[in-house]
Chain A
Amino acid sequence: MAEELIKVTIDGQEFEVEKGRPLIDVINEKGFGVPSFCYYADLELQASCRMCLVRIEKMPKLQASCVIRCTDGMEVTTKSEEIEKAQRAMGEFLLANHPLDCPVCDRGGECELQEVIFDWGDVEERFDEPKNAHPEKFLSPIVANDQQRCILCKRCTRVCHEWMGEDAIEAGNRGSNTVIGTYGGWLNCSQCGNCIEVCPTGTLLDGVYRHETRPWELDQTITTCTYCSDGCQLSVGSRADEVHRIVARDRYVNGINGEFLCIKGRFAHGFVNHGDRIKTPLIRYKKGGKLIPSTWDDAIAFAAERIKESKKAGVVATSRLTNETVHTLKRFADECRDGTSYAVSDTYDLAPFFENLSAPLCTHKEIRFAETIVVIGGDVDEEQPLTAKQIRQAVRNGGANLILVNDTPSRLSHQASQFIHVNPGTVEAFVLALADPSAADMAAAKMGIGRAEIDKARETANATKGDLIIMFGKELGAEAQAVAANLPSRHENRNVKLHPLAGYCNSVGASDMMPGRKPVADVVAGSDALLIAGSLSDEEFAAADLASKPFVAVQELFLTDTAAAADVVFPAASFAESDGTYTNNDGFVQRVRRAIDPVHQAKPDWMITSLLASELGADFGYSFSASAVFRSIAESHEAYEGLRYPDLKDETRPVRVKHKLVSGADVSGAVASLRDRVSQFPDAADKITEEPRVGHKLHRVTTMTGKTPQFHLLANGNPKPDDLLVSPLFQFNPDGSPKKEEESEVAAG
């Protein structure tokens, strides 16, 4: 953004700054530092804590620097006796109702209020009136609430409204009785926990981590989230080889997501240290026999022997694995046995997209400042929460146009400037209408919308001067993906960027690592010895009939259906126990770091594969270090050429993959087959008008999220307990039914 530069004097030093920036940002950036609670970058202004007071020449009173915009010739004083006196007085007011129970507060040690009061406060309290007291209670299974610690900065209500679009938490009552809460005292929202993250005090607390350790006892390890494809940077708090909590609090980590995380990233870490983890390698010596615990040497030797005996081997990777693992699996397929086929199990295959990519991928920052965003299909709110937040802020704070094409209404569709509500399963037709205007009438009819809607969307896109971002979800088949990837080349004068709403944390990376892959079903059907890293999806598993295969080896964390059907099971290390990289849907390669040692006898996935390979006589040239694997990646994949592992160190400056752009590719074949497909859609259908419940996908109990007990309650309707002071886990069974009295006594005792 080219902005006019003006001169501002702060404490006698002159600075050139962009006109209209918030003064508080400039003061902090230039290293003067002013305390604040309610100010939060990129949220609506509140100016209620009055801590960021400064003296500005020619203004009658001290001013709150968060609501002052820089103007030319402004002379600011940040430090003087007058200001300190005012700030100390404000600190005293904030503490008037605060219980000062830091020794028993989970936030103690990383609390902004504590820090500012230690720095600025006059700790001597003069208020001897009774304080308002509220009991500690639960707002939901994972949000604990201690109302009396609140200083009413309203960061939580603002993030809930502006980031999540939910308005689930608000300030009720008035004056000194004001409390943060909800109607009925129970939170029925997506449970993202961002209110916990931004809270500068111990008012809103992590119910999963509640009273586990003190924050300063935790080792903070910066790593990448293992759930969706947004690739949020997070900080794993671990102690004594146990993961206790995950935060994005920006004093520990400051990646693409700032302090934003969703429920899965923040709370679903219970699987790492769960008792159901596979502890040792397992071997089934005879078909129909049991899986028997074994040693690594035996298991590797056994698996290598059986793979050697087989006629044709196959490798299946999953898109939750690191780039290092998928690359090693690819090398395993290429170098160990001739003719080994390989596949990636994912919600959808991104190959047609990257083969026809005609514009760069967009970053999350670009989404925030885009002018027009077109979202075709997908369920951004539930599947890519960071992308949804960026879209929401772009619309709300940046005035972006949002064109949403979907068959189901969602939270985001309320904010769309144009919500194109199509017949179920017909979003592909919209891609066709954009690519081939002559088919627009037919496409409109199949989608059950008027032609005018398509023209209006096209006009909005054509009138866009800034960034135009096109996102698409898994509804798009191979032809539609190819056509969508080619769309930007039809708009050469415009800044068009693409954003695939990929399924898993490394969908993009896995797609990069395994060019020339086959569909999972083909690989499974065509091989008599299989190496599967991770688990097949339910549909793939049902179709595969693994029990009938002569030999199947699986690398997994848990004994899933796939692992239970295997002949050899290797215990794999989770994302918190291994080093590596994930590539997110921005094209950023981000580090995954080892926070704790692998539990039991687990080993990182790529290490297992390379052990097996060396038993089969192939030497990959690496055995212990993820950086060596990454070097091999940089040597063998064009898009990763020139990337170096040490360059990926800083999460504030993520490094991008250079995906090859194809301009002017001929996609007429794809358009023609897409037209055929669309013409076979039914002519009339009932539209889905009911908006699914918030969290219908986020709260789903899966192999990983299901290991955090709170998810079971959320998935089962998030029942409100009679007693809000006791954790709901003590009051409900996992299926959401109330526990009988004697049971709950046992559980509590």
Chain B
Amino acid sequence: MATVATDYTNKVKVTDEVAEFPESVVEEMRSHLTKYPKDRSRSALIPLLFVIQRERGYIDNPGVNFLAQFLNLEVTDIWETATFYSMFNMHPVGKYHIQMCKTLSCKILGEPELTDHICSKLGIKPGETTKDGKFTVTRVECLGSCGTAPMMQIGFEYHENLTKEKLDDLIDSLE
């Protein structure tokens, strides 16, 4: 039996379009560069990817092109780094990005049932986004809060000691 892996980046239409950012954001990016030696500017790639993700919602093609010019890298270098880390989204995500921790403690304490519950409630599968673009559910590696398992992260916010009821309340409360 074989599982067919989907590589989302194969579906990216690569264009020459370069993202534009307000001066304040570019200034912030430059401030990241100052933390590293001058000839090692590519070290700033990860902090800058976070900026791109915050500004554009995900690591999109114009954003990648911008970084390639900003750091004098090839787009493939950026692709290599960005796909290595699960925190970077290479495709669009919903307004609320629900990241269910799937590592040991959470899994033992019922993460699979919780994920199934939330997915059936929203009518999507893990890795998908609801049609209204509001929610995305993904299963991610350990978020480092095993003491309060099962837990999840929405955006950068932790929600701990989850139960089905808690989840329902939480999702209903999100606009």
Contact = CB atoms under 8 A, between A and B. Distances in A.
Interface stretch (B3-11, B97-105, B108-116): B3-11
Contacts of B5: 132-134, 177, 179
A133 B2 CA distance: 6
B25 to A, nearest CB: 22
B127 to A, nearest CB: 13
B115 to A, nearest CB: 19
B74 A167 contact: yes
Given A168-B76, A171-B80, A172-B9, A183 B2 contact: no
Nearest to B80: A170
B174 interface: no
Contacts of A179: 5, 7
Interface string B54-91: 00000001001000000011111111100111100000
Nearest to A167: B74
A166 B76 CA distance: 10
Contacts, number: 77
A392 to B, nearest CB: 15
Among B13, B75, B83, B86, the most chain A Cβ lie within 10 Å of the Cβ of B83
A184 B14 contact: yes
A130 B1 contact: yes
A135 B2 CA distance: 11
Given A132-B3, A168-B76, A173 B84 contact: yes
B12 A185 contact: yes
A529 interface: no
A169 B75 CA distance: 10
Contact of B9 (A133, A166, A184): A184
A170 B83 CA distance: 11
A131 B1 CA distance: 7
Contacts of B13: 184, 720
B9 A185 contact: yes
Contacts of A171: 80
B1 A184 contact: no
A724 B10 contact: yes
Interface in A307-341: none
A184 B10 contact: yes
B9 A181 contact: yes
Interface in A153-192: 166-174, 177, 179, 181-186, 188
Contacts of A170: 76-77, 79-80
Interface string A697-729: 000000000000000000000001000100000
Nearest to B79: A183
A418 to B, nearest CB: 16
Contact of A720 (B3, B4, B14, B76): B14
Interface residues of A, number: 28
B3 A130 contact: yes
Among A168, A177, A182, the most chain B Cβ lie within 10 Å of the Cβ of A182
Nearest to B78: A183
A133 B77 contact: no
A184 B12 contact: yes
A174 B83 contact: yes
A184 B75 CA distance: 10
Interface string A175-211: 0010101111110100000000000000000000000
Given A168-B76, A170-B77, A185 B2 contact: no
Contact of A166 (B73, B74, B78, B79): B74
A132 B79 contact: no
A221 B75 CA distance: 39
Contacts of A130: 1-3
Contacts of B1: 130
B77 A185 contact: no
Contacts of A724: 10
A182 B7 contact: no
Contacts of B3: 130-133
Nearest to B3: A130
A514 B80 CA distance: 53
26 contacts: A130-B2, A131-B2, A131-B3, A133-B2, A135-B4, A167-B77, A168-B74, A170-B76, A172-B9, A172-B83, A174-B84, A174-B85, A179-B5, A181-B7, A181-B9, A183-B12, A183-B14, A183-B64, A183-B76, A183-B79, A184-B13, A184-B14, A184-B75, A186-B14, A188-B14, A414-B72
Given A167-B74, A181-B9, 4 more contacts: A174-B86, A183-B14, A184-B61, A185-B11
Q: Which 3 A-B pairs have the closest CB atoms?
A: A185-B10, A183-B79, A184-B14
